[in-house]
Amino acid sequence: MSVLSFHEVSVRYGAHTVLNGVSLEVPAGRTVGLVGESGCGKSTLARAAVGLAPVTGGHILLDGRPVPNRGRRPVQMVFQDPYSSLDPRMTVGESIAEALPERLPKKARQAEIARLLALVHLDAARAGDLPGRLSGGQRQRVALARALAARPEVILADEITSALDVSVQGAVLNLIRDMRRDLGLSMLFISHDLAVVRYVADHVAVLHDGEIVEQGPTARVLGDPRHDYTRHLLAAALPLKEQT
Amino acid sequence: MRPVGVAGLGLLGAVVFVAAFGPVLWGDQATVVDTGNLLAGPSAQHWIGTDNLGRDLFARVLVAARLSILLALAATAISLVLGIVLGAAPVLVGRRTGRFITSAVNVLVAFPGLLLVLFFAVVFGVGARGAALAVGLAGAPAFARLCHTLVAAVSERDYIAAARIAGVSRIRILLRHVLPNIAEPLVVNATMAAGGVLLTFAGLSFLGLGVQAPDYDWGKLMQDGLNGIYVHPLAALGPGIAVVLAGLAFNLTGEAFAAAPGRVRPLGPARGPSVRTAPVPGAVLSVDDLRVTMPGPVHAVRGVTFTVGEGEAVGLVGESGSGKSVTALAVAGLLEPPVRVEANHLVVAGEEDHRRLGTSLAVVFQDPMTSFNPAHRVGPQLAEVSRFHQGMSRRTAFARAVDRLRAVRIREPERRARQYPFEFSGGMRQRAMIGMGLMGNPRLIVADEPTTALDVTVQRQVLELLAEVRRETGAALLLISHDVSVVTDVCDRVLVMYAGRVVEELPAGDLRARARHPYTRALVAAVPDLETDLDRPLAVIPGLPVDPMSAPAGCAFAPRCPLADDHCRAVAPPLLAGVACHKTAEVRV
């Protein structure tokens, strides 16, 4: 159970500023939603925390210490595209085993893979399948199991349901809520969908043009938005006919 | 497999056989000195003559196969391994050093290959080993370049990032994730390169830089035979033919491998329309029993009947694989063989032929990034529609394009029309796409997931624009979407598709509260909105979508349906009074 905190984090590519002094805290055992439009820097913030994007200013700390960006990270990430996040030539079991922190004998490894698959509500028999045999929702659950295999302190979920069909999205969102309840994981849940964020997150932060314009408890931010941009986002999420 | 592949593999088999067993079978014959037959021409005893010691040249050509092939393979292997190491440098040593190595490789690729070969051959000295090293090193830059491109494509994949985050070492990432996923094109390329290397080797030996006596390969034999080329041409041509045949064997096999993936069994001819029916009068779009089959065979659409009235907005909802987009493409007449489209009738604005796109029919696609040609300016791309369909001059068509861009509320349309698609944002591109549809006078606009790739705020603007266009032009709209809320916002009537069939047809206002099909109800319940109860888990649809390769005989939704019984699994329910379900009586509305 750990606290992931971003202090004045900036990310620049040449003259192009993606993130500008972003401060955000993911408290222990809590889910923080990060919303914003495409290109606002949501994914970059998550990628910076695991060393996939260069931090040009500020610090990202895990329990007060810098997040290591070599070796197995205590912060794990789940990606948006279920069709690109699993190696098509490795079985589900192999993909998960790769993220395990220690080399286990075969029996123990299989038991651990079965345990992780059970956590994401998948049958242990799936371990022998190649990703090609799985649906998008099942792949996303395997990706979650792989992230859990590394025994993370914090999980970063980057638009993990936006590429899924609605009937599958529900199952993944339920799983995220179950995992927070049962495992007490801290999570940064990135999404452009306010209704989805409202369903899973305790806190929500609104990112606009690389800066956080508003953050607070989900019910407060969505119920009584204080920044114009948050109101703008909320208005867009409401049905068209109810507005007019 | 195509005849080319069969010929290539057959030839390769023969070459490999000769290379493997040549020295055993004909080794003695190739060394027998026949002093009575020095430098003889072709005869029944010596098919392509003898050399200056009277040894049989045909046997020598066969025996030389082993050394020639081995040297070619060794050099190709050196090129391949070195190429992989250099090409994978960005993965192995990090971005900065990797960039330096990549630049160096790019410079080396610019050198003529033969120049490199000769340079290295002089460095390593004459002889078989030197030649193999020279040819191998000279071939490495080309492989490195190819490998770099392939590796770059794979490195972008999220599973590589996931492996890095999981602490997998760089070498393991290369061996376990990168190489297996680029192996196919590399192997194909190596096979083809081996053919070229064979030729290079023959050239080196021919120049005297390669294999030295008493060893001999095909190049050496050619060099020996060259002295008597005017007397006994076959002495030089024989080994030359061997080089050509072996090179062909490698190249054809490589070609066959390269063409192999993605080949599917073509569909048989269409059965022909069983019944011709008349279109529903007064409808802009009338479709009766539309069936679309893709090679496989995949039955993407399995009998869909619907109409769109004048000025009406009809939504087509369903999940991926339900056949909704394929239906839209069939309506637009954009499906071509090998895809098979059958229908009792498919009539748009009174016309049945497929020239309606651009005049009475407009289409807006999902991805605004790919629906414009990036190499042309936006204005001329719009103008092209009117120049082609209405025969307008370039100038009038461009003026209309500017006018249409203004109609879809693009600011400064004169300036924007002269810009390239990449200078437009996603939302603007989608507007311009709608503008392109308005170049004619569309009676029907087919919009296939027009807002899925856009942000919520932009999504709203595009939907409002579509509504406005309909008000102004009176065009009907067929909106395809997976998003129930988008469809309820915009449409009058909704068709819900599952596994290639329409399972329910109902007024858009009834979708949320008064749907009767269990699938429609589950679909609506599964989407969280800003009023969803936070204390209960979201409704989910158990099970998996239907595999379109094997659609079941009964109701396709039966395996996932809580109400299904044996009757549902055996008999497909027809669409009666707007719903295709045997159990509508049991669904409480």
pLDDT digits (tens, 9 = 90+) for A25-38: 999 989 999 998 87
Give pLDDT tens digits for A125-137.
888 888 888 878 8
Residues of B in contact with A98 (CB under 8 A): 163, 166, 168, 176
| CA-based nearest distance B396→chain A, Å | 37
Q: What is residue B266's predicted lDDT score, i.e. its pLDDT? A: 60
Residues 6+ apart with CB under 8 A from B524: B484, B511, B512, B515
B527 touches chain A (CB under 8 A): yes
Domain boundary among B517, B549, B584: B517
Neighbours of B184 (CB within 10 A): 14
Q: What is residue A240's predicted lDDT score, i.e. its pLDDT? A: 54
* Whether pLDDT at B454 is above 80: no
Closest CA to A147 of A94, A73, A51, A69: A73
Distance between CA atoms of residues A49 and A58, nearest Å: 12
Residue A244's pLDDT band (cuts 50, 70, 90): very low
Q: Are residues B224 and B321 in the same domain?
A: no
Q: Are residues B295 and B422 in the same domain?
A: yes
Q: Are residues B341 and B209 in the same domain?
A: no
Q: What is residue A242's predicted lDDT score, i.e. its pLDDT? A: 45
Whether A88 and B181 lie within 8 Å, measured CB to CB: yes
Whether A76 and B161 lie within 8 Å, measured CB to CB: no
B161: nearest CA in chain A? Answer: A52
Neighbours of A182 (CB within 10 A): 9
Q: What is residue B432's predicted lDDT score, i.e. its pLDDT? A: 86
Residue positions counted in chain A: 244
| CA-based nearest distance A24→chain B, Å | 21
- ipTM of this model? 0.87
Distance between CA atoms of residues A57 and B130, nearest Å: 53
* Whether pLDDT at B544 is above 90: no
Q: How many domains does chain B have?
A: 2
Q: Are residues B216 and B320 in the same domain?
A: no
Question: What is the phi-psi region of residue B342: left when phi exceeds 0, alpha when psi lies from -120 to 50, beta otherwise?
Answer: beta
For residue A123, the one-letter residue type is D
Residue B192's pLDDT band (cuts 50, 70, 90): confident
Distance between CA atoms of residues B167 and B422, nearest Å: 38
> What value does the mean pLDDT take over residues B367-386?
83
Q: Are residues B224 and B315 in the same domain?
A: no
Give pLDDT tens digits for B35-64.
777 777 788 787 788 887 888 888 888 888
Does residue B75 form part of some domain? yes
- What are residue B579's DSSP bridge partners? B504, B576
Does residue B207 form part of some domain? yes
Token digits for B290? 């539309």
Closest CA to B275 of B343, B369, B366: B343
* Whether pLDDT at B263 is above 60: no
Q: What is residue A97's predicted lDDT score, i.e. its pLDDT? A: 92
CB B173 within 8 A of CB B55: no
Does residue B536 form part of some domain? no
Residue positions counted in chain B: 589
Does residue B275 form part of some domain? no
Q: Are residues B160 and B103 in the same domain?
A: yes
CATH number at residue B297: 3.40.50.300
Q: What is residue B74's predicted lDDT score, i.e. its pLDDT? A: 93
Q: Are residues B211 and B331 in the same domain?
A: no
Whether B530 and A198 lie within 8 Å, measured CB to CB: yes
| A-B Cβ pairs (cutoff 8 Å, strict) | 146
Residue B267's pLDDT band (cuts 50, 70, 90): low
Does residue B371 form part of some domain? yes
* Whether pLDDT at A237 is above 80: no
Distance between CA atoms of residues B574 and A171, nearest Å: 30
Q: Are residues B366 and B491 in the same domain?
A: yes
A152: nearest CA in chain B? Answer: B166
- What are residue B299's DSSP bridge partners? B293
| CA-based nearest distance B519→chain A, Å | 10
Residue A203's pLDDT band (cuts 50, 70, 90): very high
CB B31 within 8 A of CB B55: yes
Whether B167 and A71 lie within 8 Å, measured CB to CB: yes
Of A87, A233, A241, the CB nearest to B457: A233
Please measure the distance between the N-terminal and C-terminal CA atoms of chain B and give it in whole angstroms: 57
> What value does the mean pLDDT take over residues B197-225?
84
> What value does the mean pLDDT take over residues B484-501?
88
A230 touches chain B (CB under 8 A): no
| CA-based nearest distance B366→chain A, Å | 14
For residue B348, the one-letter residue type is V
CB A156 within 8 A of CB A144: no
Q: Which of B430, B456, B463 to mutate to test the interface with A (most CBs of A within 10 A)?
A: B456
CA distances from B264 to B185, B188, B189, B296, B421 (A): 20, 20, 23, 7, 35
Closest CA to B37 of B48, B25, B26, B27: B48
CA distances from B329 to B290, B335, B357 (A): 12, 6, 11
Report the CATH superfamily, name and number, of domain A4-243.
P-loop containing nucleotide triphosphate hydrolases (3.40.50.300)
> What value does the mean pLDDT take over residues B321-349?
84
Q: What sign does the CA torsion over B423, B429, B431, B434 have? A: positive
CA Rg, chain B, in Å? 34
CB A197 within 8 A of CB A169: no
> What value does the mean pLDDT take over residues B518-530?
85
Q: What is residue B268's predicted lDDT score, i.e. its pLDDT? A: 63
A52: nearest CA in chain B? Answer: B161
Domain boundary among B497, B517, B537: B517
Residue B264's pLDDT band (cuts 50, 70, 90): low
* Whether pLDDT at A216 is above 90: yes
For residue B144, the one-letter residue type is A
DSSP string, A181-210: HHH--EEEEEES-HHHHHHH-SEEEEEETT
Judged by CB atoms within 8 Å, which residues 43-102 of A form the interface with B?
A: 47, 50-52, 70-73, 75-77, 79-81, 84-90, 95, 98-99, 101
Whether B166 and A237 lie within 8 Å, measured CB to CB: no
> What value does the mean pLDDT take over residues A182-210?
90
Tell how far CA B246 is from the center of its chain: 31
Instruction: Give me the domain span that covers residue B306.
Output: 283-517
Q: What sign does the CA torsion over A92, A94, A99, A104 have? A: positive
Residues of B in contact with A84 (CB under 8 A): 157-159
Q: Print burial letters for B22-58: b (CB count within 10 Å at least 16), e (below 16).
A: bbeebeeebeeeeeebebbebeeebebbbbeebbbbb
Whether A192 and B168 lie within 8 Å, measured CB to CB: no
Residues of B in contact with A196 (CB under 8 A): 528
Residue A207's pLDDT band (cuts 50, 70, 90): very high
Give pLDDT tens digits for B218-242.
888 888 888 878 888 888 888 889 9
Of A85, A192, A195, the CB nearest to B455: A192
CA distances from B81 to B95, B146, B535 (A): 21, 12, 58
Does residue B549 form part of some domain? no
Residue B14's pLDDT band (cuts 50, 70, 90): very high
Whether A166 and B523 lie within 8 Å, measured CB to CB: yes
Q: Print burial letters for A78-103: b (CB count within 10 Å at least 16), e (below 16).
A: bbbbbebbbbebbbbbebbbbbbeee
Q: What sign does the CA torsion over B247, B248, B250, B255 have? A: positive
Q: Are residues B340 and B471 in the same domain?
A: yes
Does residue B277 form part of some domain? no
Whether A233 and B168 lie within 8 Å, measured CB to CB: no
> CA angle, corner B133, sides to B131 and B135, nearest 5?
65
φ, ψ for residue B431 (rounded to 5)? -65, -45
Domain boundary among B469, B491, B517: B517
* Whether pLDDT at A204 is above 90: yes
- Say whether B203 sits in a helix, a strand or coil: helix
> What value does the mean pLDDT take over residues B239-260?
84
Closest CA to B160 of A44, A100, B151: B151
Q: Domain residue spans in chain A?
A: 4-243
Exposure of B18 in the CB half-sphere (CA atoms within 13 A): 21
Neighbours of B257 (CB within 10 A): 19
Residue B411's pLDDT band (cuts 50, 70, 90): confident
CB B245 within 8 A of CB B11: yes
B376 touches chain A (CB under 8 A): no
* Whether pLDDT at A241 is above 60: no
> What value does the mean pLDDT take over residues B361-369?
80
Q: Are residues B344 and B439 in the same domain?
A: yes
Residue A190's pLDDT band (cuts 50, 70, 90): very high
